[in-house]
Amino acid sequence: MYVIFVVLWVGMRRTERLFAIAELLRARRTGIKAEELADRFGVTVRTIYRDLDGLRAAAMPVIGERGRGGGLALDKSYSLPPVNFTTREAALLVTAGRWLERTRLMPFVETLRSAIDKVQGALPAARQWEVARLVSTLTWIGVPARLASAEVRAAVEHAWVHDIPLRITYDGARGITERNVRIEAVLLERTMTLLNCHDLDIDDKRQFRMHQILHAEVLPGTR
């Protein structure tokens, strides 16, 4: 019983620390060193790096900035100022988001799901019930079945957002090939997702069907 209590207590401390680190990074305009975070929270630098890995796993974009005032910081595109939605606005956003999520066409399904959850969760309880009622009266018919794996979607999203090269294993008309590409545009066609890319191997433009990508990863050194 004592061991269980200690484990729960340590877990609660780590959870509280993760929230505190997230809020600290969110509030700062300049970076902070890992050593400073370790001193502030009374833990080792190694523990701080494990905490930062945990935040990144939860889709919080912690990055390292160089130069004066550098250090650990949140990507500046991460958060937005407070926004007030009416019930109708929130219902339409949530409904449209859920439809896009269920079409399975978009590479960034997980990010979309997280954003929609935040919009819905930020509403007062009464508005949440109203949004849920409105959403329940809408039905999706003819949802496309062609989808890429979660691993491929994550790599495509990362490469697209950060404009960095991507290595893909593609099952196309010429069989299975490996290509190094840079995504220039994402097209959501009625039944599939198309990636307009610059093929770095042949220095030419090519189009790929996302559901035919077997494997994808950002090129080493470009994260």
115 and 172 within one domain: no
Q: Are residues 180 and 210 in the same domain?
A: yes
Task: For residue 118, tell me if it sits in a domain.
Answer: yes
- In Å, the largest CA–CA distance within the chain is 65
Any domain includes 44: yes
* Assigned domain for 223 exists: no
pLDDT for the residue numbered 181? 96
**Residue 38 counted as domain residue:** yes
In 40-118, beta strands by DSSP E: 62-65, 71-74
Residue 144 lies in a domain: no
Residues 186 and 128 in one domain: no
Same domain (yes/no): 164, 111 = no
Identify whether residues 203 and 160 lie together within a single domain. Answer: yes
Whether 165 and 195 share a structural domain: yes
Are both 7 and 52 inside the same structural domain? yes
pLDDT at 129: 82
Q: What is the pLDDT of residue 165?
A: 93
Number of neighbours of residue 196 by Cβ within 10 angstroms: 14
Domain that holds residue 164: 150-218
User: Do residues 104 and 63 share a domain?
Assistant: no
CATH number of the domain where residue 208 is located? 2.30.30
> Would residue 129 count as lying in a domain?
yes
109 and 65 fall within a common domain = no
Q: Domains in the chain: how many in total?
A: 3
Task: Report, as ranges of residue numbers, the positions in the chain whose pLDDT lies below 70.
Answer: 1-12, 27, 29, 65-70, 76-83, 103-106, 138-145, 221-223
DSSP state of 185: E
79 lies in some domain: no
- Judged on CB neighbours under 10 Å (0-12, 13-18, 19+), 200 is middle
| pLDDT score at 94 | 82
The answer to whether position 26 is within a domain reads yes
> How far is Cα 74 from Cα 28, in angstroms, rounded to an integer?
9
pLDDT value, residue 3? 41
